[in-house]
Structure 1
Amino acid sequence: MRVGAVISFALSVASIAATAPYEHHAIHEKRSGSSPRWIKRDRVPSNKRLPVRIGLTQSNLDNAAEYLLDLWTSDQVIEAFCPSETAVQAVRDWLADHGIENVTHSDNKGWLAFNARVSKVEALLRTEYFEHEDAVTGGIIPACDKYHVPITIQEHIDYITPGTRLMAPVEGDTDLKLKKRVDRQVNRQKPQWMAEQVYKQLSKNASDLSHCDQAITPACVKALYKIPPGHLADPTNSLGIFEAELQFWHQVDLDLFYANFTPSIPQRTHPINYEIDGAPPVTTRYYPYPDMLDLMLAYPIVYPQTITVWNVDDLHYQTWENDTYTWGFNGLLDAIDGSYCTYSAYGETGDAPGIDPTYPDPSPGGYNGTLQCGIYKPPNVFSFSYGGQEADVPIAYQKRQCHEFLKLGLQGVSFLFASGDLGVSNYPAPYGFDGPTGCLGPDLNIYNPTWPNGCPWVTNVGATKVYPGYTVFDPESAAYDPAVTPRSVNYSSGGGFSNVYGVPHYQKKAADTFLKDHNPPYPYYRGLSQNALNPTLPNVTALAGDTGRIYNRDGRGIPDVAANGDDIAVYIGGKFGLAGGTSASTPIFSAIVNRINEERIAVGKGPVGFINPVLYDNPGVLNDITNGNNPGCGTIGFEAVKGWDPVTGLGTPNYPKMLDLFMSLP
Structure 2
Amino acid sequence: MQHVLGTPTRYTHLLSARARGRPCQHRCLDAWSSEGFLSLPRPWPVPSKVYAQVSTIFFWRVYRSGFLALATQTVVFPVSHFWRPVSIAMMLLVPLLATAAAARVMDSVPDVPRGWAFVRAAQPHDAVSLHVAMRQQYATELEQKVLGVSTPGHADYGKHLSLHELRSYTAPSDETNATVSSWISAYGIKPTVNNNWITFTTSVATANRLLDTKFDWYQHEAGGSPKLRTFSYSVPDELADHVDMIQPTTRFGQLESQRSTIFKMERLGNSFPATVQSLVDANTDSVAALCGPGVTPKCLKTLYNVNYTASPENNSVAFSSYLEQYARYDDLQAFQAKYVPEAQGQNFTVVMLNGGENDQTSDEDSGEANLDVQFLNGISHPIPITEYSTGGLGPLVPTDDQPDQPGSNEPYLEFLQYILAQPDEWLPQTLSTSYGEEEQSVPQDLALTVCNMFMQLGARGVSVIFSSGDSGPGDSCVSNKKNATAFEPTFPAGCPWVTAVGSTRSTGPERAAGFSSGGFSNLHARPGWQASYVQTYLNTIGSTYAPYYNASGRGIPDVAAQGVNFAVFDQGYAASLSGTSASAPTFAGMIALLNAARRTKGQPTLGFLNPWIYANAPAFTDVASGASVGCTGNLDFAAVGGARWNATPGWDPVTGLGTPLFDRLLAVAAPGVPNA
* TM-score range normalised by the length of the shorter chain: 0.5 to 0.7
Listed as ranges, the matches of 1:335-374 within 5 Å are 335-338=418-421
Secondary structure, counterpart of 1:71 in structure 2: coil
Deviation of the 1:28 alpha carbon: 3.4
Secondary structure, counterpart of 1:8 in structure 2: coil
Do structure 1's residue 479 and structure 2's residue 549 form an aligned pair? no
CA separation in 2, counterparts of 1:606 and 1:399? 28
Deviation of the 1:452 alpha carbon: 0.7
Residues 252 and 391 of structure 1, relative CA distance in 2, 3 Å threshold: same
CA separation in 2, counterparts of 1:397 and 1:223? 41
Do structure 1's residue 394 and structure 2's residue 443 form an aligned pair? yes
Do structure 1's residue 644 and structure 2's residue 651 form an aligned pair? yes
Do structure 1's residue 273 and structure 2's residue 273 form an aligned pair? no
Q: Counterpart in 2 of 1:502?
A: 525
Deviation readout 1:514-552 (Å, 9 max, x if unpaired): 112x2254342xxxxxxxxxxxxxxxxxxxxxxxx2111
Flag structure 1 segments of 5+ consecutive residues without an equivalent.
43-50, 114-126, 171-176, 339-372, 427-436, 481-491, 525-548
Residues 71 and 642 of structure 1, relative CA distance in 2, 3 Å threshold: same
Cα-Cα RMSD: 5.1
CA separation in 2, counterparts of 1:198 and 1:570? 15
TM-score with structure 2 setting the length: 0.67
Q: Counterpart in 2 of 1:47?
A: none
Residues 37 and 59 of structure 1, relative CA distance in 2, 3 Å threshold: farther
2:494 to 454, 457, 462: 454
1:424 to 473, 479, 488: 473
TM-score with structure 1 setting the length: 0.68
1:157 to 237, 242, 259: 242
1:657 to 659, 664, 674: 664
CA separation in 2, counterparts of 1:313 and 1:128? 26
Residues 382 and 282 of structure 1, relative CA distance in 2, 3 Å threshold: farther
Residues 645 and 453 of structure 1, relative CA distance in 2, 3 Å threshold: same
CA separation in 1, counterparts of 2:244 and 2:373? 42
Deviation readout 1:112-154 (Å, 9 max, x if unpaired): 99xxxxxxxxxxxxx99868575789x999999856536xx97
Residues 322 and 62 of structure 1, relative CA distance in 2, 3 Å threshold: farther
1:596 to 594, 597, 601: 594
CA separation in 1, counterparts of 2:131 and 2:557? 40
CA contact (8 A) 1:55 1:111 kept: yes
Question: Match for 1:73: what amino acid?
Answer: S
CA separation in 2, counterparts of 1:52 and 1:296? 34
Question: Match for 1:496: what amino acid?
Answer: G
Residues 249 and 34 of structure 1, relative CA distance in 2, 3 Å threshold: closer
Deviation of the 1:314 alpha carbon: 7.8
Size of the aligned set, in residue pairs, is: 539
CA contact (8 A) 1:250 1:288 kept: yes
CA separation in 2, counterparts of 1:251 and 1:142? 40
Deviation of the 1:655 alpha carbon: 1.1
Deviation of the 1:501 alpha carbon: 1.0
2:541 to 519, 530, 533: 519
Secondary structure, counterpart of 1:416 in structure 2: strand
Structure number with bigger Rg: 2
Deviation readout 1:596-651 (Å, 9 max, x if unpaired): 11111112222110010111122111111111111111334111112111111111
CA separation in 1, counterparts of 2:335 and 2:230? 56
Q: Counterpart in 1 of 2:7?
A: none
1:78 to 167, 182, 189: 167
Secondary structure, counterpart of 2:319 in structure 1: strand
Q: Counterpart in 1 of 2:607?
A: 609
Do structure 1's residue 188 and structure 2's residue 264 form an aligned pair? yes
Q: Counterpart in 1 of 2:205?
A: none
1:262 to 337, 340, 344: 340
Secondary structure, counterpart of 1:387 in structure 2: strand
CA contact (8 A) 2:590 2:662 kept: yes
Deviation of the 1:298 alpha carbon: 1.7
Deviation readout 1:205-255 (Å, 9 max, x if unpaired): 2756342233222221111111014131x5341210111223333444333
Deviation of the 1:159 alpha carbon: 5.6
CA separation in 2, counterparts of 1:218 and 1:135? 45
Flag structure 2 segments of 5+ consecutive residues without an equivalent.
1-11, 17-26, 42-56, 62-69, 75-98, 113-117, 125-129, 150-158, 201-208, 219-224, 397-403, 632-639
Give aligned-pair identity as a percent. 25
CA separation in 2, counterparts of 1:586 and 1:54? 29
Secondary structure, counterpart of 1:6 in structure 2: coil
CA contact (8 A) 2:251 2:443 kept: no
Residues 23 and 510 of structure 1, relative CA distance in 2, 3 Å threshold: farther
Residues 639 and 321 of structure 1, relative CA distance in 2, 3 Å threshold: farther
Deviation readout 1:295-326 (Å, 9 max, x if unpaired): 232212211212111112288899989699xx
Do structure 1's residue 108 and structure 2's residue 195 form an aligned pair? yes
Deviation of the 1:336 alpha carbon: 1.4
CA separation in 2, counterparts of 1:143 and 1:296? 41
Deviation of the 1:265 alpha carbon: 2.1
